[in-house]
């Protein structure tokens, strides 16, 4: 299986994004293949913007990995991201 993790957290706490790091490590230990290295969203500093940058990147890599046309599918995903309010 293949995966990508976007870890959420707050740099105000000492164990910033610890659960996301844990999930990423466990999935790797279980034999999963990382599509991208774990990404971190900081509640204190641009979490939503970081996600909006990461989402198209992981989508493109996933399309390439699964032999899908990223140009055709990315325009639909970008449109959805631009027009959807994220509830994090």
**pLDDT for res 68:** 85
CA angle, 68 then 74 then 80, to 5°: 130
Give 29 or 83, the one with higher predicted confidence: 29
Three-state SS for 61? helix
**Would you say 24 and 4 are in contact if contact means Cβ atoms under 8 Å apart?**
no
- Nearest in space to 54 (alpha carbons), one of 66, 39, 64: 39
**Would you say 38 and 19 are in contact if contact means Cβ atoms under 8 Å apart?**
no
Spatial neighbors of 54 by CB under 8 A, at least 6 apart, are 6, 36, 39
pLDDT one-digit tens code per residue, 1-53: 999 999 999 999 999 999 999 999 999 999 999 999 999 999 999 999 999 99
A 10 A CB-CB count for 46 gives: 12
Number of domains in the chain: 1
Give 62 or 78, the one with higher predicted confidence: 62
Boundaries of domain holding 6: 2-84
- Whole-model pTM: value is 0.77
**pLDDT for res 88:** 44
User: Is the pLDDT at 70 greater than 90, yes or no?
Assistant: no
The domain that holds 77 is classified in CATH as 3.40.50.360
């Amino acid at each position: 299986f293949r995966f990508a993790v976007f870890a959420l957290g707050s740099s105000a706490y000492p164990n910033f994004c610890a659960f996301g790091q844990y999930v990423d490590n466990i999935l790797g230990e279980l034999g999963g293949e990382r599509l991208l290295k774990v990404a971190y969203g900081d509640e204190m500093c641009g979490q939503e913007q970081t996600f909006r940058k990461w989402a198209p990147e992981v989508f493109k890599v996933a399309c390439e990995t699964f032999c899908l046309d990223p140009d055709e599918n990315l325009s639909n995903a970008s449109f959805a991201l631009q027009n959807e309010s994220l509830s994090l």
